[in-house]
Structure 1
């Protein structure tokens, strides 16, 4: 099993956000898709905290898929399905059997800053397709706002990401808002998190 120290630090605060935005739906069984599940630590913790949600983890890396399987086996998680290979930059028709209007929730944690703009386009296009009416998309990460990155530590992070891959970098909230709007999804809330991270809550309208 892979271990991410950051995931171990932030899963609880992310879980609280999810529990809050889903609180009025906890009386019914929900279906959630996690894009870029990584090690699998988040999805397992979310499943434990929110038994009314059935989770579908996904990733593009084989080592991540194996790690997620190991966490599922170790925790005997009943409401986490086996992970699927999913490339969010591809059209939603290729999203590993995830059907149209089938998800109540999509979660993408630290995905957009480690991805190309094509992936961001794919995430919002896919959300517009696979989310049910009033379904939610939550993205978590560090963002630019109106083309500006603050404070300096975030500027440094953006520069480091672009050194690793010129297509990576901090996404701009206003660009994401426009991408979402073009796909029938609107930005509903911005929640400030620790270390200048934010949760963006989008809803399919």
Structure 2
């Protein structure tokens, strides 16, 4: 069962945003894309027991960790983790059906994956979310072409040295990509350690 310090630090602030953004009473279905170690979904499931969670991950080592967290905490509202390549069309997402989720959560993925993954995230989320469903992304972002503070500038440079296709994405770019799929940036929540939560709402068909 893997644990990383960053997930322990940010799980409570992200949970606070979730509590403000989704119902804590009526039954909901949530998909977490890029669940990592499983710490987030385990924590959220214990706090928001009205939500049935579907964790997913690309890296097989993390799939085992997610299952370990699920078993350790006896999480009956968390389904078995599935392998998911977010860069592929949603039809390839392990049998996930269109318009089947109220919430999609994606934490600390966009800046450490290629643009194909970012574009796939928005296209896929738009397809699997119900009308008025919510996509929540968390991480560090650029704002109006600027990255601040210096620690985020340094982080962006280190990412691009590791892989030229990685790096902090600008919120304006993500807004544009979202709108192309029918997801509209509804709220930006400031978070600790110079991160943000971006909340995108799927447009209603009515």
Q: Shorter-chain TM-score: which interval?
A: over 0.9
Shift of 1:165: 1.2
Name structure 2 gaps, 5 residues minimum: none
Q: TM-score if structure 2 supplies the norm length?
A: 0.97
Per-residue displacement from partner, 1:74-130 (whole Å, max 9, x unpaired)?
110010000000011111111111110001000000010111111110011011110
Shift of 1:26: 2.7
Q: Which moved more, 1:133-142 or 1:144-153?
A: 144-153
Aligned partner (choices 37, 40, 50) of residue 39 of structure 1: 37
Per-residue displacement from partner, 1:108-157 (whole Å, max 9, x unpaired)?
00010111111110011011110000000000000011221111111100
2:134 maps to 136
Residue 11 of structure 1 pairs with residue 14 of structure 2: no
Moved over 2 A (4+): none
1:80 maps to 78
Residue 53 of structure 1 pairs with residue 51 of structure 2: yes
Q: TM-score if structure 1 supplies the norm length?
A: 0.97
2:182 maps to 184
Name structure 1 gaps, 5 residues minimum: none
Query: In structure 2, what is the Cα distance between the partners aligned to 1:190 and 1:131?
Result: 20
1:1-205 to 2 correspondence within 5 Å?
1-22=1-22, 25-205=23-203
Per-residue displacement from partner, 1:147-188 (whole Å, max 9, x unpaired)?
211111111000111111111100110000000101011000
